[in-house]
Each structure stands twice: as structure tokens, then as C-alpha cells.
Amino acid sequence: MTLLTVDNLGITFGGLVALDSLSFTVPKGQITAIIGPNGAGKTTLFNIITGFYQAQTGTITLHRDAGPLVLNGKPDYWIARHAGIARTFQTSRLFPRMTALENLLVAQHNRLMKASFFSLAGLAGLAGFKKAERDAIDKARFWLEQVGLTGSANVPVGSLAYGLQRRLEIARSMCADPALLCLDEPAAGLNPKESLELVDLLALIRSRFGATQLLVEHDMSVVMGLSDKVVVLEYGRKIAEGAPQQIRHDPAVIRAYLGEPPDEDIPVDIAQDLDKC
Amino acid sequence: MSDWRTRGKTSLSAAVLAAILALPILGFQLSETGTGLTVLARLHTVAWVFVAVGLGSFALTSARAIKWPSIALPAQTSDRLGWALAIFALALPFLPFADRSLIDKATLILIYVMLGWGLNVVVGWAGLLDLGYAGFYAIGAYSYALLAQAFDISFWLCLPLAGLFSALFGLALGFPVLRLRGDYLAIVTMGFGEIIRIVLLNWQSLTGGPNGISNIARPTLFGLTFTARALDGGKTFAEALGIPYSANQRIFFLYFLILALALLTNFLALRLRRLPLGRAWEALREDEIACRSLGINPTNIKLSAFAIGAMCAGFAGSFFATRQGFITPESFSFIESAVIVAIVVLGGMGSQVGIVFAAIILVGLPEWFRDLQNYRMLAFGLTLLVVMIFKPSGLVSRRSPTIVLKDPA
């Protein structure tokens, strides 16, 4: 079952071809990782899927129960709201002066806005809005528990440790009940222990909430341990796609990461390292 | 900075620099002698500047060297302070020292408090630097004046209409500038504020141009007027209560009117802040890209902030028109916008209580120093400087959360 189809996607910035006729699918309820060397176009791909950039060629289609939805040409907030695609950023983009609870409530803005009848019912303090607000707080509390931040609920998030901020950003995306969660290097800047906790959290999101995840990541231990499918990019092109086991031994991938071997095979020690991860 | 020697050196160099600058500017005076002009040396003024700047700089650096106790108010105290201020404002006219001029000054301060609270929604919460706020203030004032004159509508019906009209203008002017942020937004809004003033100045047939509009209808209380004699068939306030007429009654009525309007603005703003809309304003100020990624349409959120801010300015403008009885475009120049922005920034960008204190300092103090005439604005500048040096993030810079998780642990 496919949730997202990316077909023949292309974008250039000036003379630079950032993505070139890229096609792949994202299976529903699974974790798909996008890997590739720096500058391969991973974040550009994310920005196109979430509507922050517009693709010059190709289509992105979301397969919902209600029928397929083409995302091309839609603004970013529309995609987040109507297609249910949430994202996190390479460097966390929380609302630093607001508390953790407020951050998670802003993620539920559209639902609450409707419940408050564009603030009118909220101003009048009607029961319907109060109930919706209680539900939203309960949901926020639930996700704070999942990321272990309940104790910091009333603390401005700018004062939290970096690792906690990254977890909170994932919690905030989940508060929007996304159909697809796009994580841009969630393990960047985390220590090994925090990385392990992150893997557990993402695995939990997959198993318990069935959320489909698209993951850009450099940390191979996270990618190999977690993903069901890996797509490898190099210079904006897909060079491999498949299960992590296949990718690990794909010669094109090894070449992309390590360069062309001079004459002989890969040096033994590097081959061993590759097998380890 | 810490020991007195370096402070002395700093002060000395500041004094020398000031004296060098003062020499060509203040050191000479042209005076008429018969048919010609002679240059008089006024070197004593330069000496005064030297001494004043030297001592001032030394006092300032010394004051900064001292570790002042921080006066960060906890959220609860800030709330209580707000209530205490509101009760004080209600009781003020009944206090023994409250005379006509005091109430008049308090009314003026309250106009600026209300404008500050309105602009705070735009600048303090939504983070959109609006330097053309006086434009909406003008639209409110002219709407009231023109509606009241043309259709003979009462103040109480005009008030919401003027607010609505200003809000519509806020939407119309907000729309084209939404893509801009920061400095660019400030420049464009400043331009809009000036455009409004210049249109009012030149649209002679409608607004009376530089002559303005006079004889604007005074407000009534349930049809009771505050004049010495009742107009055709009506009743005056004094007659209805069976008390002798006094001009103070109108002054006091205006005071309570603006107090009620200001408190209503405050109530509306604080209430909105705790709703999803208010949180979206603040989230937008913090990070617009994150807002987009969460499905928030920034256009709607910004426009709502603009419109609500403009509406408050419209209410304040109507009140201004009815209080003065006479308005000209002169009253809505850029300096008005600048003062209101200064009040919001000085108050602490987002703090309602801070804005009250800032308005008292920035509007009240110059009023009390009116006797100093031309040096009045010097007091204004000095206050700004002192606050910027000692409280760079505003008088009350602490942000209180819009919602609290009751049992977090």
C-alpha cells in the first residue's frame, strides 16, 4: 500500500540541477529513509514535498482513503493542513519564548480555530470550545509523556536542552495527527544515547500510531536500524532504492559514499566497517 | 568600567568630544548691531556642556557599575499590579487631590494606554512592526466626525462604526504588505500612515483639509448631555440628577468613558491572547516557517492582528474626536505613531501592565513638564535613554504563558 508517489520530480536553482527526474514511492505505515552525500538534494526534496518549494517538473501524489491528491502547486500551509504532511527541520524550529504546552497547542491550531468559531465562540467562552481546548490539552499532555517532557510543560522551550528540543519538535508534529511525518535529520547533533532514544521514539510512532515516516538522516545506525526502505540520492538523482540490507551492499551506493576505488576492491577495513553498520 | 579611574577617563573623553561638537554649534551667536551683524563668542555655554556631559557620563557609568537588584515581577504580582492599577484608575476622580487638570491629563494618558494596548496586538504579539498606527487613529477620528456631522448619528452608534471602518482599512492596508517583515514592513506602514494623513490634508471637500473639522458632537450618556443648557427637548445630566451644573461633569464623564473603552480593549486583547488565534500571533512572531509547517495560514493570522489593532485605534480615534470637538490632520502625524510604538517597546513588547507605566512616563511626564516649554521634549528623550540603558528589554519584559498545564509532574 503506497501513501506517497513521487514521479519524475525535477528542480533547478539557476544552473544547478538539485533534483533530476526523481521517482520513488513511500509505503504506508513504514519508515522510508532518504540518504545521500551532502548536497544530494535530500532537503530540497523535503521542501518540495512539504510545499516550501515548487517543483519544475513531475508530480507528487498523496494516496488517501478519499482518493489521490496531487500536491503540486499547493502552498506549504495548505499541504500541512489538508494533506496532513507534517515536518521537522534540520535545526529545530520551535517557538522559543512559548512554553512546551503552548508549542503543542499551536500545532492543533486549525482544529481549535474551528472549534472557537474563529475566536467568537472562544471569546464568549462557549462549552463546545472549552471541551475542544481540554481535548487539545489532553493530546498535548499525551505527547509530552511520550517524549518524556511532561515536567517541562510550562517552561519556555528556548531554555530546554537541544536534545529535548528535537524530541519536542517531533511531538509537536505528531500533535497535528499527520498522515506523513517528514523528519529532516532528527539525529543531527544528538549524542549516542539520545540517538538510541530517538530510534525508540520513531519506532513507537510507527508501531503504535501507524504513522508513515519519511526520514532524511546521516547517522547510518539510525537509518539501518529503523527504516523499512531506503532511497539513495546523489547529485539529485536516485542511485538506489530498496531494503536496508540491499542498499548496504549496492556498489553504486558504496561508490557514492567512498568514491571510485582505484583498481582493486574496497579496502578490507572499510568493507568491515560497512558491514558493521 | 568598574574602577573610578577608567570611568573618569571615559567621562573626560566624552566631555571633550561634547565640547568640540558644542564649539561650532553653541559657541557662537550672531547678533544684530545697528546695520551689521557681529559674532559673539559664547564660550561659557561650551564650558557648561563640558561640565554637564562630564558629570553626566560619570554618573551614568557609575550607576551602571553598581549591581542593581533585579526587579523582575513574577507573573502573579504583575496580575495583581494590573488589578491595583485598574481600581486606582476607577477611584481616581473621587480622590481629594483630583482636580480638573489632573483628570484631563489622566484622560490623555488613557488614550495612549488604549492605543498602546491596541498596537501591542500587532507589534508586541504578532511581531509586525507597524509605524503607521496613527493612520488608523486618524481614520477612527474622521469616521466619527464625518458620520456624526453628515448623518447626525449619536456617539454610541458611531463608535462601533468607526471601529469597523478602521478595521476594514487595517485589512485593506495590511493585505499588500503581508509579504514584508521587519524593517521593510516598518517603512511601508510608515508610508501608509503618512498617505492617510496627506489624503486627509488634501481632500478639502470631504475633510476640510488643513482647517479640519470643528463642532464635532459631544457624547451623551443615555441621551443626557453634559452642557449647561439642554438642546431642543433633551435633558442635561445635571438636570436629570437634580444637581447643579458644573463643567467638571463632562471632564469626569470623558475620563470614565475612555477608562471603559481602554478596559474593554484590554479585556478583548487578553482574552484573544489565550485563544488559538492569540497563540498563533505569538507563534508567528517566533517563527513563521514553523507556523506554515503546522498548517497555519500566515496571511489570515497577520490580517487578523492588523484588523484588531486598527479597530482599537478606531475606537480611540472616535474618543479623541469627541473629546477635542475639533480635529485636523496635524493631530495624526508620524510623531504620534512613533510615541505609540515607543510606549509598546518601553512597556516590554507584550506586557499590558508595562504599557500603562510606559504611557504614564512618555505621555504623562511631558504634560507635567509643560512649564519647561521647549525643553519638554528633552525630558522625553532623557526618559527613553534612561529606560533603554537600565531596562533594555522594556519595563515588564517577562512573558506569562497563555495556558498552564495544572499538574505537570
Instruction: Provide ipTM, 2 decimals.
Output: 0.87
In a domain, B402, yes or no: no
Residues B43 and B155 grouped into a single domain: no
Contacts of A173 in chain B (CB under 8 A): 293-294
CA distance A71 to A1: 19
Q: How far is C-alpha B302 from the geometric centre of its chain's CA atoms?
A: 21
Q: Is A131 on the interface with B (CB under 8 A)?
A: no
CA distance A167 to A146: 9
Does B291 sit within 8 Å of A106, measured CB to CB?
Answer: yes
**Pairing mode of beta strands B28-33, A67-70:** unpaired
Alpha carbon of B352 to those of A78, A119, B312, B396: distances in Å?
34, 20, 14, 9
**Residue B20 cell numbers, joined:** 568640540
Contacts of B286 in chain A (CB under 8 A): 94-98
- The nearest CA of chain B is from the CA of A194 a distance in Å of 22
Q: How far is C-alpha B123 from the geometric centre of its chain's CA atoms?
A: 13
Q: What is the pLDDT of residue B34?
A: 81
SS3 B162: helix
Residues B57 and B168 grouped into a single domain: no
Could you tell me which residues come within 8 angstroms of residue B44 by beta carbon, excluding any fewer than 6 positions away? none
Contacts of A97 in chain B (CB under 8 A): 282, 286, 399
Q: Please say whether the dihedral angle defined by the alpha carbons of residues B231, B237, B243 and B247, taken in this order, is positive or negative.
A: negative
- The nearest CA of chain A is from the CA of B350 a distance in Å of 12
Nearest CA in chain A to B281: A106
What does the domain layout of chain A look like in residue ranges? 1-84+178-277, 94-177
Could you tell me which residues come within 8 angstroms of residue A171 by beta carbon, excluding any fewer than 6 positions away? A104, A143, A144, A146, A147, A149
Interval A144-159: pLDDT, tens: 998 889 888 899 999 9
Residues B313 and B220 grouped into a single domain: yes
SS3 B260: helix
Q: What is the pLDDT of residue A266?
A: 67
**Pairing mode of beta strands A180-184, A85-87:** parallel
SS3 B236: strand
In a domain, B312, yes or no: yes
Name the DSSP letter for residue B130. Answer: -
- Please list the alpha-helical segments (H only) found in B121-247: 133-151, 155-174, 182-202, 204-207, 237-241
Q: What is the pLDDT of residue B233?
A: 63
State phi, psi for B143 to the nearest 5 degrees: -60, -50
Residues B312 and B174 grouped into a single domain: yes
Q: Please say whether the dihedral angle defined by the alpha carbons of residues B19, B22, B26 and B27, taken in this order, is positive or negative.
A: positive
Contacts of B268 in chain A (CB under 8 A): 123
Mutation test of the interface with chain B: which of A119, A150, A172, A174, choosing the one with the most B Cβ atoms within 10 A?
Answer: A119
Residues B202 and B341 grouped into a single domain: yes
In a domain, B70, yes or no: no
Interval A177-194: pLDDT, tens: 899 999 999 988 888 888
Contacts of A113 in chain B (CB under 8 A): 276-277, 280
SS3 B351: coil
Q: What is the pLDDT of residue B78?
A: 73
Residues B153 and B219 grouped into a single domain: yes
Name the strand (E) or helix (H) holding B41.
strand B36-41
Q: Could you tell me if B387 and B401 are in contact, meaning their C-beta atoms sit under 8 angstroms apart?
A: no
CA distance A166 to A176: 16
In a domain, B396, yes or no: no
Residues B40 and B186 grouped into a single domain: no
Q: Is A43 on the interface with B (CB under 8 A)?
A: no
In a domain, B160, yes or no: yes
Choose the closest CB to A109 out of B295, B399, B401: B295
Enumerate residue ranges in chain B where pLDDT < 70.
1-2, 68-76, 228, 230-234, 373, 409
Number of domains in chain B: 2
Q: Is A89 on the interface with B (CB under 8 A)?
A: yes
A14 falls in which pLDDT band (50, 70, 90)?
A: confident
CA distance B108 to B111: 5
Choose the closest CB to A80 out of B268, B280, B292: B292
Half-sphere exposure of B333 (CA within 13 A, CB side): 5
In a domain, B407, yes or no: no
Choose the closest CB to A109 out of B276, B408, B409: B276
For residue B6, the tally of other CB atoms under 10 A from its CB is 12
CA distance A108 to A128: 16
For the domain covering A1-84+178-277, report its CATH number: 3.40.50.300
Q: What is the pLDDT of residue A39?
A: 85
Q: What is the pLDDT of residue A202?
A: 92
- The nearest CA of chain A is from the CA of B161 a distance in Å of 19
In a domain, B400, yes or no: no
Residues B310 and B376 grouped into a single domain: yes
- Inter-axis angle of helices A162-175 and A127-146, to 10 degrees? 140
B131, B128, B124, B155: which is closest to B141 by C-alpha? Answer: B155
**Residue B280 cell numbers, joined:** 498563533
A251, A217, A218, A244: which is closest to A230 by C-alpha? Answer: A244
What's the start-to-end Cα distance of chain A, in Å? 29
Could you tell me which residues come within 8 angstroms of residue B66 by beta carbon, excluding any fewer than 6 positions away? none
Residues B216 and B177 grouped into a single domain: yes
SS3 A15: coil
With cell 511520550, the residue in question is A146
Q: What is the pLDDT of residue B169?
A: 92
Q: What is the pLDDT of residue A24?
A: 92
Residues B123 and B32 grouped into a single domain: no
**Which residues of B fall below an 8 Å CB-CB distance to A?**
268, 271-272, 275-277, 279-280, 282-283, 286-287, 289-298, 399, 401-405, 408-409
Residues B177 and B49 grouped into a single domain: no
CA distance B293 to A50: 8
**Residue B7 cell numbers, joined:** 570611568
A87, A4, A34, A89: which is closest to A227 by C-alpha? Answer: A34
What's the start-to-end Cα distance of chain B, in Å? 45
Q: Which domain holds residue B31?
A: 4-65
Q: What is the pLDDT of residue B1?
A: 45
Alpha carbon of A129 to those of B16, B228, B266, B277, B315: distances in Å?
66, 50, 22, 13, 28
- Please list the alpha-helical segments (H only) found in A94-126: 100-106, 109-115, 120-124
**Residue A221 cell numbers, joined:** 545506525
Q: Please say whether the dihedral angle defined by the alpha carbons of residues B184, B189, B190 and B195, taken in this order, is positive or negative.
A: positive
Q: Could you tell me if B177 and B121 are in contact, meaning their C-beta atoms sit under 8 angstroms apart?
A: no
Residues B26 and B144 grouped into a single domain: no
In a domain, B401, yes or no: no
